[in-house]
Amino acid sequence: MSTKNKTLFECNQCGSEYPRWAGKCDKCGEWNTLHEKKILQTATVAAPSARLANKIGSQNFTKKLSPAQKNSQKTLRVSSGISEFDRVLGGGFFSG
């Protein structure tokens, strides 16, 4: 992971933070009280699986089936005996 420095400006009097320097703190009204504060941030990188999912998700791999084709696919499935597992698989395993 790479790191990135972020700069904030904090008021010495009240502790308010601002993204850029200003001569006067808007919260407490004091002049010349903002000082620079560096914050080290780690850059987040998407996991390889997330990057792959984005690539796959952008392509259309679906194919429309006729009702006859849908019914024929139901008969090819083999149950695992665990109803929740079969539900997640869409009805069981395919034979072959």
21-67: pLDDT as tens digits: 999 999 999 999 999 988 877 666 666 666 666 665 555 556 777 77
Q: What does the block give as tokens for 38?
A: 């560096």
Whether the predicted pLDDT of 3 surpasses 80: no
**Residue 67: what pLDDT?**
75
Q: What integer is the mean pLDDT of 15-24? A: 92
User: Where are the extended beta strands (E) located within 1-96?
Assistant: 3-11, 17-18, 34-42, 77-78, 93-94
Q: Where are the domains of the chain?
A: 3-42, 64-96
Which of the pair, 68 or 1, is modelled with greater confidence?
A: 68
**Residue 13: what pLDDT?**
92
